[in-house]
Amino acid sequence: MEPELAVALPAAGAACAAVLRPRPNLAVIIGALLGLGGLAAIVLSTPGLVSDALGVSLSLSAPARAMLIVAAASLAVVVVFAPERAERSRLLGFGLAGLAGMTAIAVAPTLDVVILILLALVVLQAAAPAARPFSRRVRAPAFAVAMLAAGLVLTRLAGPSLLERFGAVGLVAGLVAAVGALPYMHEFDAEESTAASPIPWAAFIGPVLAVTIVMRARELFPSAAGAFGAMLIGLGLLNMIWGCLAAWRTEADVSAWRYSFSGDWGLALCGFGLALPEAQGAAVLILSSVLLARLPLYLWSRQALRDKVQTDRPLNLLVAAVLAGSAPFLGFGARILLLHSATALYWPLALVIATSLLLWVPSSLRLGRSLGRPKGPQLVGIVLVLAVNVALGIFPQPLLLLPGQ
């Protein structure tokens, strides 16, 4: 199926959800139907097949297609089991707009177009109503766009190979800044709606963006691929260790959730940096666990965070286990693949990663307690998330086959 439809249908769904907001039920129905049409176009697309129906060569890579499918599934879970105070039509509208932008990034013919689409998403998100002013909300993601553009320019300048290395620095810095990982964490206001906060960059748009940039970057500077991977691994270790420690020791529970996303991004960056097929599969599984576990669980915890309710029921312990990447959940297989790849490449790195994995336990226990006492649709959603993560943890092959691993 044409990739143009995969972009146009979710965009139309987002527009309908915005226009029909006074009639929320109709907005959700029409938006959902158009979103499902976009998902069908993604699922039925052939990875690598070029389409030029609009006069521009568009194609969807297998890893990006996998991330888009998982992101669409995450959006469906979040909308169907939305928190009590959340407005479903608004949540769906923002999600479909993000999905359309992510698909456009994935099918873009060049990295130049990817950066322009990212800039448009940055401006649209920063322009949405929120407590923080536009200038403060646009600052961090706009810096990411600037770093990506600078890195791209440096890779294309004629000169010594050192320029390619500086270009790799710019692309790595831009990617890390775009997803809000350390040392470029975005400003965060706990009272803001999730759609207007930095969370979508880390947990929704970020996975597709990362897969696209990493794939395109390696094609740009083959001579600097080693330096590119080394920087990803270094920043990955920083985010793993500091993110987990901060999630454990920070004062506010909502800040702990924010730092926990950085910890997961540390694992994914290490997987991308190792540049082995098995490590790339680990990165895909880790980002899938962010979309299918950490993001929806964070959304369902927000009311309990406001009410400062903490519990230690068995359900909270299961949530802690899935967040920590314990067996038999999805994150466990990802960590095993990552450790195996690191051992094959450089065993001291595997030792550092294995030691840092222990830091997930105390922070995950804290986050599990912060979920409070879920009930109604949220309880059903949590049970569904746990079941999906168990199924994919026991049999991750469907996720690994999607990106062609």
Burial of 234 (0-12, 13-18, 19+ CB in 10 A): middle
Whole-number pLDDT of residue 270? 94
Whole-number pLDDT of residue 100? 95
Closest Cα partner for 104 from 72, 76, 64, 77? 64
Whole-number pLDDT of residue 234? 93
Counting DSSP H helices and E strands in the chain, the numbers are: 19, 0
Reported residue count of the chain is 405
Whole-number pLDDT of residue 177? 94
Whole-number pLDDT of residue 220? 84
The Cβ of residue 114 has, within 10 Å, a number of other Cβ atoms equal to 21
Whole-number pLDDT of residue 82? 85
Hey, where are the domains in the chain?
1-107, 108-401
Q: Report residue 131: phi and psi, to 5°.
A: -70, -40
Structure tokens at 381: 């959603």
Instruction: List the chain residues with pLDDT less than 50.
Output: none
Question: In angstroms, rounded to a whole number, what is the distance separating the alpha carbons of residues 378 and 395?
Answer: 25
DSSP H stretches of helix in 108-161: 111-127, 134-156
The Cβ of residue 363 has, within 10 Å, a number of other Cβ atoms equal to 25
Q: How far is CA 78 from CA 75, 84, 95, 294, 297, in A?
A: 5, 12, 9, 11, 9
What does pTM read for this prediction? Answer: 0.93
Instruction: Tell me the per-residue pLDDT of 226-241, one tens digit each, with 9 for 90 and over.
Output: 889 999 999 999 999 9
> For tokens 């300048």, what's the residue?
157
